[in-house]
Amino acid sequence: MREAEDAFRRGVRSVLLFGIPARKDAQGTSAFDPKGPVPSAIRALKTRLPDLVVMADVCLCEYTSHGHCGVLSDGAVDNDRTLPLLGQAAVAYAGAGADVVAPSSMMDHQVAALRRALHDAGQEDTLVLAYAAKFASSLYAPFREAAGSAPSFGDRRSYQMDPRNSREALRELRLDAEEGADALMVKPALPCLDLLARAREEHDLPLAAYQVSGEYAMIKATASQGWCDEGAAVHESLTAIRRAGADLIVTYFAGDLARRVGRGVR
């Protein structure tokens, strides 16, 4: 709450929440527990900061004991068994007051599954920000360490996208738009500026880009060695993402940037 209130006072008007549960299991049940970390945080934020736009990431990776983004069948992620659980999580977050739910598990038809679940729960007004093109990347490592969500075996390349295949990424963006996404996300940001530019040409929906933990850590580490000016590097990186076509930028620098410039940063 202190972090959110400080950021809000400085002009940051939206947050994206991830949860670290007290316990993890094979089904990731804490992800859709109405008393879990994310619904609890949403209720607290909406009580204290009703004008804050609260977005909630929808995935199972932080909640499963094996660290994968879905439930397993015969040692592999089961796409279709995962979809109803993602829907339950979205309903739990919307019921707690989330303005936006953001499916990031990269399960096929995850947007349609959330749309159905929200409709059935009477939460049709909750927006869906789809991680439509989420590439397998080494740049997620700092987040996975912080959240304890690294896979206990294998990797996520069977459901996250091959960064060499831009045509598939554009197809995934189209499919999520057709399934009812209100906004589309590309992740990570800087390695995908070409894709952002192509997506901007093709889509009228709001386009988001996620400057991920590894991108943040690289700038921080470089600046800590005195090899660059941190403020200038942050500004250059965010400008490049915006210039490529992003309407929304998810970045760990938001609070720092708001403090630095002394004016509102959304």
Start-to-end C-alpha separation, the chain: 18
Q: Crossing angle of helices 254-261/2-9, nearest 10°?
A: 40
How far CA 170 is from CA of 43, 179, 194, 206, in Å, comes to: 36, 14, 11, 15
Burial label, 1 (beta-carbon count in 10 A; 0-12, 13-18, 19+) = exposed
Tell me what percent of the chain is helix, strand and coil, each rounded to the nearest 5. 45, 15, 35
Using DSSP's 3-state secondary structure scheme, residue 184 falls into strand
Residue among 35, 46, 187, 220 flagged as catalytic: 187
Instruction: Tell me whether residue 24 is one of the annotated catalytic residues.
Output: no
Return the bridge partners of 249, or none.
209
Give how far the C-alpha of residue 89 lies from the chain's centroid of Cα atoms, to the nearest Å. 14
Residue among 35, 46, 134, 220 flagged as catalytic: 134
Cβ(134)–Cβ(106) below 8 Å: yes
Instruction: Tell me whether residue 134 is one of the annotated catalytic residues.
Output: yes
Active-site annotation, residues:
134, 187
